[in-house]
Chain A
Amino acid sequence: EIVLTQSPGTLSLSPGERATLSCRASQSVSSSYLTWYQQKPGQAPRLLIYGASTRATGIPDRFSGSGSGTDFTLTISSLEPADFAVYYCQLYGSSSWTFGQGTKVEIK
């Protein structure tokens, strides 16, 4: 079973700053299998990035995904007030899906 580890647990930043979120898999995986979501309090998750680097429909270009093998990154180039939320990475493998534990991006 592949384990996903997100870091940091919490990221305290100010609007306009750059956010870099990490998602590490316990073994090498296909980039096609890596997905990122955003979740705000009381709301369902929203698909941000699929295939490690492709933005979903309607996602602003300040969000970008990168990485391969075991290390993947979600970058928010300049934080907007609406971006303060929890972010999850997700991995498909062996007919099951696994979520990371999440990174909370909070206002500093």
Chain B
Amino acid sequence: QEQLVESGGGVVQPGRSLRLSCAASGFIFSNYGMHWVRQAPGKGLEWVAVVSYDGSKKYYADSVKGRFTISKDDSKNMLYVQMNSLRVEDTAVYYCAKWGVYYGMDVWGQGTTVTVSS
């Protein structure tokens, strides 16, 4: 079945960098765009970034633009987000999600936790 597994979360100091990974299986990864979505503790969902199926288009939320970079490696069925200049407010559970039918996200990973703290 279709599955996404995130990794790479942890505790990091403000201003430092972290790269999250998402391993995809059970579907043709190269055919789909992919998203990162985050959820701060006790808060709602916030869309972070999307990459098109072929990697040619990338869009970001204003809150992360210029600091985060999304990418996908179809040869490895992997999605990434490079997070630089991390801020306390970036603390959240980060989910990767598959761009499914229409504009929804039909497969989600279990999430990986990022804590930005001094």
Contact = CB atoms under 8 A, between A and B. Distances in A.
Interface of A: 32-33, 35, 37, 39, 44-47, 50-51, 54, 56-57, 88, 90, 92, 95-102
Interface of B: 35, 37, 44-47, 50, 57, 59, 61, 95, 100-106, 108-111
B57 to A, nearest CB: 8
B50 A97 contact: yes
A47 B100 CA distance: 10
Contacts of B111: 44
Nearest to A99: B45
11 contacts: A35-B102, A44-B111, A45-B45, A45-B105, A50-B100, A50-B101, A54-B101, A90-B103, A96-B59, A97-B47, A99-B46
Contacts of A92: 103
A100 to B, nearest CB: 8
B51 to A, nearest CB: 12
B118 to A, nearest CB: 27
Contacts of B37: 45
Given A44-B108, A45-B95, A47-B106, 7 more contacts: A37-B105, A45-B37, A51-B101, A51-B102, A54-B102, A92-B103, A97-B103
